[in-house]
Structure 1
C-alpha cells in the first residue's frame, strides 16, 4: 500500500495538479458556470409548464388561456436557447483574467469574442412586409452553437493577448479615464480578431461545409458528443472524476471543464423534447451524473455517511458522521473525503472508485429499458437533496426518486465491508498507541 501511495503522490498528483491549473480548462469550466443560473431559472419555468398533476393543464388554460404553455416558454427561450452567447462571453472573460498581467482586459476580451461569435454565425434572410431583413437562427445561439462559442472565445482571447504582448496597441495619454484607455487598447486586437474570423468564415463558405458551425459540428462536435453521451465514454469520464478526487483534486470540476459542453448540449436537447412532449433523446446529461451518480457528492459518499451513522463503533467515526451528514445531504462531501479520509487511503479508494461506475451502469440500464425516466433537461441546483432532485430532474417522475434510493442502498452495501475493515485497523492502531503511551509512563 505504501508503494501505491508513493505512486499517487509522485506520479499522479503532479500531473493532475497541472491539468487542474491549465488556464484554458479553468476558463472553460468557469465560463460555462456563467450559464448555470440562467439555465436553472429556465428549468423552473419548464417545470411549471409540465407539472405532473392531474387537471393542471386544464386549470392553467382556464386562467391564462390556451396559449399559457407557450407563454411559459418565453423565459426558457432566453435562457436555454441562447446559452452559447453567455458561454462565449464567460469563457473569454475568464481566460482574459488569466492574462491580465499581460495587459489583457477581460471585459474587452469578452465583448470582442461575442462579436466574433456572431460573425461566425450565418444570418438567414427573410422579408417583413416586403422589406429584406436578416435573423440569427436561435438553434445556433443555444446548445447547437456551444462548441463554436467555446473555440471562438479562446481564439479571440489568444489573438488579443498576442497583439497586446507585442505592444501593437493604441495607448492614450495618462490623463484619459481608464475605461476609455482600455477601449482604445482593445481597438487593434478587436480589429484583428474580426478580420481573422471573417476570413475563416469566407474560407469555410467556399467548402462543402457551408458555414463554421456546420464544420465544427461535423469535425469536432459529433465525435465528442458520441463519446460523451455513450456508456463507455461516460464510464471513463466518471472514472477520471473519482481518480482525481482520491489524489485530493476536485475531479468533478476538472472533468466537468471538458465534458460540460457535451452534457449541457444533451441537457438542452432533452429540455426541448420534453417541452414538446417528444421522446427524450439522451440518457447521459449533466443531471444524470449530478443527480443519480453523485449522490451526496462524488463517489456517492452519502451512502458511506449514512452507513457510518448507523454502524460506526469508534467515537471518532461517530463524531465525523454527525459532522458530515448535513453537508452530504446537500451533496457536499469534502468533510468525509478529507476527514475519514478517502484521499490517498488505498482501502477506501476501492469502493469510492467502484461504486460510481456500477451506478452509471445500473442507472443506464434502468433508463434504457424504460424502467426509469430519463433526465428531462430540467436543471436542478446541484445542492438539491436526493429523492427530491431525482423526482424533479425527471420531470416529476417517481421512478427518478426510486432510482436514487436504489443507488443509495447499493452504495451503503458496498461501503460497509470496507468501512468495517477500516475501523478494525483504526482500533488496532489506537490500541497500539495506548500501549506505547502506557509503556512510556511506566519507564518514567
Structure 2
C-alpha cells in the first residue's frame, strides 16, 4: 500500500512543486503576509472582544474622527487592497520564474489589472458611497452611476482576475523580450536607463493586448472583472467553502508529509488562494456587521485560512501537539520522553519538524492513521460546531499560525472557540495514545536490550585474560 501511495503522490508533489504558475501564485501571496499581520493587530485593537473596550474606542475622538475609525484605517491600507498586493507579488514572482526583470513584471501586472478594471460604481446611492469610502446623506433607494473604483475590486473580489492578469501579462512581456523586440541603447548609458527603454516595447505589447481584451468585454456589455468574478471566482469559492473540499485537501496534505514532502507547500499552492479569499470575505463582513451580527446565517464562511491554521491542526501538521502531550504524560522510554521535552516549546508555536522527522512520523506506518485522523476529526467537529452556532466562524483577522492554542481561538472567534480548541486537543491525545504507547513499548524493549548488551560488554572476566593477548 505504501509503495502504491508513493508512486502516486511523489510525482504529483514534484509536478506541483516545479509548476512555475503555482509557485508564483504561492510566493506572490507572501508579499502581503507581513502587512496583513500588522494590519490585523490594529484591527484587533479596534474590535477587541470586550464590550467596554469597543465602547471606549468608539467614543474617544481625535480631531473630527473617532479612535475606532483611525485604527480601522490600517485595515483599509492592507486588507481592503489585498488584491493589489497579490497581483503585484505574483507578477514579480512569475517574472523571476520567466527570467525577466521582476520590477517590470510587477508593473505590467498591475497595469493590465487596472486596464480591465471598471471605473464606475453603479447601484443605490447608499451602496455607491459605501463602496467608494465616502459619506453623504442620501435618499434611500435612489440609484446612480458615478466614476470611481469600487473598493471591492481591490479586495477579495479582484484576487482571481489579478492572478490571471499577472500570469498573462508577464508571459506576453517575457515572450516579446525573448524575441529580441527591445530598444537597445549604446554603450555607456546607465543600466537603469537601458532597462527602462528595453521594457518599452514589451510593455506596449502588453498594454495593447489588454486594451483589445477590454474592448471585447465592453462590446459584450460587461467587463472582465464582473465576468471572472461571476463565472470563475464565485464557483471556485463555493467549491472550496465545503467540508468535503477541506477534508480531501488535508488528507492529501498529510499524505505528502508522511512521505517527507512539505504538504503545506504542495496543497497550499492550489488551495490557499481560495482560503485567503474566503478569509477576506469574512473580514469584510465582520467589519460591516460587528461581532454580534457575524454569523453563518449572515454569510460568514466556515472554511477559511484561519479555520485551517487555527482549528485544523495544533502544533503543526498532524495536530502533533496532542501527540507531544501523550508522549510526555503516558510514555516511559527515554527516546520518546527526551524527544518530547525537546519538541514541546516549538510545538506550542506550531513547529513540529523535530517530531515529524525525529520520532519519526515520516514513512512510519504505525503513525499514519492518527496523523491523518486527528486533523480530519478537528475539521469535522469544528465545522459542525460553527454550523450549529456554538461559536462563530473565524473573523478573518490574520492571526499568525504560530499563535498558541486558546489565544488564537479567542482572538479569531470567542472564548467558546478557545475552549473548543482545548477539547479538540484532549480528543487528539486520546486518539494518539494507543499508537504512541505501542511505539513506546517497542522502544522500551529496544532500550532494555541495548542496556543488557552494554552491561555484558562492561563485565570483565579475569579468567578470559591472557598474557598471550598482549
Tell me the TM-score normalized by structure 1.
0.91
Cα RMSD (Å): 2.6
Greater RCO (Cα-Cα under 8 Å, separation 6 or more): 1
Query: Which of the residues 109, 120, 123 maps onto 1:124?
Result: 120
The 1-side partners of 2:121 and 2:344 are apart by: 57
Change (3 A) 1:214 1:125: closer
Partner of 1:72: 71
- Cα shift readout 1:393-437 (whole Å, capped 9, x = no counterpart): 12xx10121111011111111111111112233344556667888
Partner of 1:188: 201
Partner of 1:422: 439
Query: Which of the residues 25, 30, 36 maps onto 1:28?
Result: 25
Partner of 2:158: 145
Asked if residue 400 in structure 1 is aligned to residue 417 in structure 2, the reply is yes
Change (3 A) 1:243 1:276: same
Unpaired runs of 5+ in structure 2?
123-128, 135-144
Asked if residue 57 in structure 1 is aligned to residue 31 in structure 2, the reply is no
What is the correspondence of 1:2-401 to structure 2 with a 5 Å cutoff? 4-64=1-61, 67-100=66-99, 104-124=100-120, 134-207=147-220, 210-277=222-289, 278-280=293-295, 281-394=300-413, 397-401=414-418
TM-superposed deviation, 1:438? 8.9
The 1-side partners of 2:263 and 2:313 are apart by: 12
Answer yes or no: is the 8 Å Cα contact 2:294–2:392 preserved in 1.
no
Report which of the two structures shows the higher radius of gyration computed on alpha carbons.
2
- Cα shift readout 1:180-239 (whole Å, capped 9, x = no counterpart): 22222221211111111111111122225x111111112211121011111111111212
Change (3 A) 1:412 1:174: farther
Answer yes or no: is the 8 Å Cα contact 2:335–2:443 preserved in 1.
no
Answer yes or no: is the 8 Å Cα contact 2:46–2:57 preserved in 1.
no
Change (3 A) 1:362 1:133: closer
The 2-side partners of 1:374 and 1:125 are apart by: 30
- Cα shift readout 1:87-127 (whole Å, capped 9, x = no counterpart): 00101111111222xxx101111111111111111111799
Q: Secondary structure at the match of 1:308?
A: helix
The 1-side partners of 2:325 and 2:456 are apart by: 38
Q: Secondary structure at the match of 2:3?
A: helix
Aligned residues: 432
Change (3 A) 1:332 1:174: farther
Tell me the TM-score normalized by structure 2.
0.86
Q: Secondary structure at the match of 2:51?
A: coil
Answer yes or no: is the 8 Å Cα contact 1:20–1:26 preserved in 2.
yes
Answer yes or no: is the 8 Å Cα contact 2:88–2:166 preserved in 1.
yes
The 1-side partners of 2:88 and 2:445 are apart by: 56
The 2-side partners of 1:293 and 1:61 are apart by: 34
Deviates more, 1:76-85 or 1:419-428: 419-428
The 2-side partners of 1:213 and 1:240 are apart by: 32
Partner of 2:126: none
Asked if residue 411 in structure 1 is aligned to residue 424 in structure 2, the reply is no
- Cα shift readout 1:212-268 (whole Å, capped 9, x = no counterpart): 111111221112101111111111121221111112111112222222222122111
TM-superposed deviation, 1:62? 4.2
